[in-house]
């Protein structure tokens, strides 16, 4: 199946699409087609790259002075959970893309990097390919954001949202939790 057909198939499945949506899907499909180009390897080293990619975002939040705690836990079956108590990935509407900023960060290639440069990056540290690559290469990913008194979440499979960003509770705290399971079709 060539790329054009694949995109059309996606349209049939989701029924809602526009130019920005197509761009996002193309981006993440590219990551799944050539994972080595984005994370260097698909073995244990590649898995470690994914873990660092997620932690890097929390470290950036720490370097910006907004985070005092980062935890990494390896759960059964190499499911990875990274928790920080930073400000939380913004969840408000992204004006141009007309969807939650959280969804944009998670599903648009390099969107995270743009946020870094414009709003919160202080370090001159290593810069990765972004959490959207981790999302693309995970058969399951769950993002939770504690922010503005609420707990928000969205789940994905292979980079595709499984529903809208939802409020699932209240929270007095702020922070971001990313739980992901590397896709065994790609990572081995």
Residue with smaller CB distance to ligand 0RA, 36 or 125: 125
* Contact call for residue 87 and ligand 0RA (CB under 6 A): yes
Q: Considering all CA atoms of the chain, what is the largest pairwise distance in Å, rounded to the nearest integer?
A: 48
Query: Residue 11 and residue 21: Cα distance in Å, rounded?
Result: 10
Among the listed ranges 8-16, 18-26, 113-121, 153-161, the one in contact with ligand 0RA (CB under 6 A) is: 113-121
Contacting ligand 0RA (CB under 6 A), which of 27, 35, 90, 182?
90
The region of 22-30, 32-40, 85-93, 148-156 touching ligand 0RA under the rule CB under 6 A is: 85-93
Residue 48 backbone class (left: φ over 0; alpha: ψ -120 to 50; beta: rest): alpha
Chain centre distance of CA 34 = 18
In the set 29, 53, 84, 183, which binds ligand 0RA (CB under 6 A)? 84
Least CB distance to ligand 0RA at residue 58 (A):
5
89 contacts ligand 0RA (rule: CB under 6 A): yes
Q: How many residues bind ligand 0RA (CB under 6 A)?
A: 13
Residue 155, Cβ density class (10 Å: 0-12 exposed, 13-18 middle, ≥19 buried): middle
Question: Which span sits near ligand 0RA by CB under 6 A: 3-11, 29-37, 112-120, 164-172?
Answer: 112-120
Nearest approach, Cβ of residue 48 and ligand 0RA (Å): 18
Binding of ligand 0RA by 58 (CB under 6 A): yes
E strands, the chain, where? 70-75, 79-84, 93-94, 99-100, 138-147, 150-157, 160-161, 166-170, 175-182
Rounded to whole angstroms, the Cα distance separating 133 from 27 reads 9
Burial of residue 187 (number of CB atoms within 10 Å: 0-12, 13-18, 19+): buried
**Pick from 81, 120, 148, 167: which binds ligand 0RA (CB under 6 A)?**
120
Determine, following the binding rule CB under 6 A, whether residue 94 of this chain makes contact with ligand 0RA: no
Structure tokens at 132: 């959207």
Q: Which positions touch ligand 0RA (CB under 6 A)?
A: 57-58, 61, 84, 86-90, 115, 119-120, 176
């Amino acid at each position: 199946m060539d790329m054009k057909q694949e995109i059309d198939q996606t349209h049939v499945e989701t029924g809602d699409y526009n130019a920005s949506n197509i761009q996002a899907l193309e981006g993440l499909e590219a990551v799944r087609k050539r994972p080595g180009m984005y994370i260097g390897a698909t073995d244990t080293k590649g898995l470690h790259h994914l873990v660092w990619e997620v932690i890097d975002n929390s470290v950036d939040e720490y370097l910006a002075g907004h985070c005092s705690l980062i935890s990494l836990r390896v759960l059964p079956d190499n499911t990875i959970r990274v928790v920080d108590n930073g400000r939380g990935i913004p969840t408000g509407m992204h004006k141009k893309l007309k969807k939650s900023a959280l969804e944009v960060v998670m599903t648009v290639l390099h969107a995270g990097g743009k946020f870094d440069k414009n709003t919160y990056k202080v370090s001159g540290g290593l810069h990765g390919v972004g959490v959207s690559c981790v999302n693309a290469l995970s058969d399951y990913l769950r993002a939770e954001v504690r922010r503005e008194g609420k707990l928000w979440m969205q789940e994905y499979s292979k980079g595709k949202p499984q529903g809208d960003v939802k409020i699932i509770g209240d929270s007095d705290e702020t922070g971001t939790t990313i739980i992901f399971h590397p896709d065994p079709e790609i990572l081995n």
